[in-house]
Amino acid sequence: CSVENADGFCEGEAFCLGGAGWVCNATSPTLEICDYVDNDCDGGVDEDFTNDVGKYVDLHHCGGCGKDCEGLFPYATAKCDGSAVVPQCVVDECEEGYYLEGKFQCLPFQDTQCKPCVADFQCSGGVCIDIGGEGHCTIGCEGVTCPDGYLCLASDGPDGDPKGLACVPESGACDCL
């Protein structure tokens, strides 16, 4: 026996229930929902919410049914990162005025221009570059307008590694802005 409708075709078995006659135990097909069940009887479980290898990578079902990424991170939009063994919610983009710290949080930019540093993590989302022979914090200027008194120049870090474009004081030193 079977039940068929616009959502699919489900098969079952017919049983004689005495006075009730023959009864089919096939379920009625429904649109696929994330519930670990083959709702539309097409042989696939939750296929609308998984990728080609069966990982749950939907924004609202990340790593499993009901694990919603939306609204999870303050000051950010989220995405489901399917590259991990078990997919997980991570920050996709931070709101304006915030920077990504790790994969799971957005922190507010702080004014750290010319603060002494030895590494980027000390610069609250900025970069640590060599200014006048010492490490100082500034901001990258790719697609950003530098503050007054700063120029967008190719810069190196205190260790000599290239950092790309960064806002450098016009004076070339942080002690004389």
Between 175 and 69, the higher pLDDT residue = 69
Give the model's confidence band at 81: pLDDT under 50 very low, under 70 low, under 90 confident, else very high: very high
Cα distance between residue 99 and residue 91, in whole Å: 10
Q: For residue 168, give the 3-state DSSP assignment.
A: strand
Give me the residue label for tokens 């983009």.
93
DSSP 8-state class, residue 20: G
- Kindly tell me the burial class for residue 167, based on how many C-beta atoms sit within 10 Å of its own C-beta (0-12, 13-18, 19 or more): buried
66: nearest Cα among 58, 54, 77: 58
Give the model's confidence band at 174: pLDDT under 50 very low, under 70 low, under 90 confident, else very high: confident
Residue 57 has pLDDT above 70, yes or no: yes
pLDDT of residue 97: 78
- Which tens digit of pLDDT belongs to each residue from 150-159? 899 999 888 8
Cα distance between residue 99 and residue 112, in whole Å: 13
Q: Tell me which range, 60-64, 111-115, 155-159, 170-174, is most confidently predicted by mean pLDDT.
A: 60-64
Cα distance between residue 115 and residue 89, in whole Å: 33
pLDDT of residue 177: 52
Cα distance between residue 2 and residue 137, in whole Å: 69
Q: CB of 91 within 8 A of CB of 103?
A: yes
Give the model's confidence band at 163: pLDDT under 50 very low, under 70 low, under 90 confident, else very high: confident
Cα distance between residue 39 and residue 92, in whole Å: 31
DSSP 8-state class, residue 19: G
Instruction: Supply 137's token pair.
Output: 């914090």
Share of the chain above pLDDT 70, in %: 99
- Which tens digit of pLDDT belongs to each residue from 120-151? 888 888 899 999 889 999 988 887 778 788 89
Neighbouring residues of 143: CB distance < 8 A, sequence distance ≥ 6: none
pLDDT of residue 176: 62
